[in-house]
Amino acid sequence: MRPGRLLAAATGALRLDAAIALRHLLLNVVAGSALVPRPVRWALYRAAGLDVRTMNVFSGTRITGTDLRVGRGTFVNHECYLDVARGRVEIGEDCHLAPQVMVLTATHERDASGGAGRASQYRTTVIADRVWLGARATVLPGVRVGEGCVVAAGAVVAADCEPGGVYGGVPARRLREADARP
């Protein structure tokens, strides 16, 4: 690689890394601290450009970017991971995310040899209204979890979930209808 191109690539990488570091410092170290009250955390998220409409985001939640919407009445428990580095996460109203839930947007296509391709692909992952994601559930990139679904603890949601169902397993599958009780 020519010296001019190498310098340009290094400068671009430094800018990207600096932006990631600053975003991490604000969203995860400062706002994510257990010492920061929820209303202050909410204000920091809003100031950073996140569309977070609830103050119920608890400490330790890690957010990797800014293309995030969290609806009113939603509860995000401790240590959730919301991967919005270059993808988008939409979480509806009145949802419950138990501790350590992961919502992902980044993936890789397969290359010609069947391995993971080098280029990242970013998708929008959607959690509709009134969804309950159990502890350590993982929602994979591009998946839509339909309204009123319950996803069992530890489930890996690899495909869309139709509304009103209880899903569990690895990969998650529909187990039954969600209970209609409030």
DSSP string, 46-83: HHTT-EE--S-B-TT-EE-SS-EEE-TT-EE-TT-EE-
**Which of 4 and 135 is assigned the larger pLDDT?**
135
Cα dihedral 14→15→18→24 (10° resolution): -120
Distance from CA of residue 179 to its chain's centroid?
26
Q: What is the pLDDT of residues 17-29, one digit of tens each?
A: 888 888 898 899 9
Strand 132-133 to 62-63 pairing? unpaired
Closest CA to 167 of 148, 181, 142: 148
Beta bridge partner(s), residue 66: none
Over range 153-159, report the average pLDDT: 98
Instruction: Give the per-residue pLDDT at 152.
Output: 98
Residues in the chain: 182
3-177 maps to CATH 2.160.10.10: yes
Give the integer Cα–Cα distance in Å for 182 and 165.
15
pLDDT for 180: 56
Say which residues have a Cβ less than 8 Å from residue 12's Cβ, sequence separation at least 6. none
Mean pLDDT throughout 112-123?
82
- Tell me the C-alpha distance between 71 and 54, whole Å: 7
CA nearest to 70, candidates 98, 43, 89:
89
- What is the pLDDT, as a whole number, of residue 182? 44
**Whole-prediction pTM:** 0.88
State how far the Cα of 133 lies from the Cα of 113, in Å rounded to an integer: 35
pLDDT in tens, 86-114: 899 999 999 999 999 999 999 888 777 87
Q: Check if the beta carbon of residue 146 is closer than 8 Å to that of residue 159.
A: no
Catalytic center residues: 108
Instruction: List the single range of 36-40, 75-79, 82-86, 134-138 with lowest mean pLDDT.
Output: 82-86
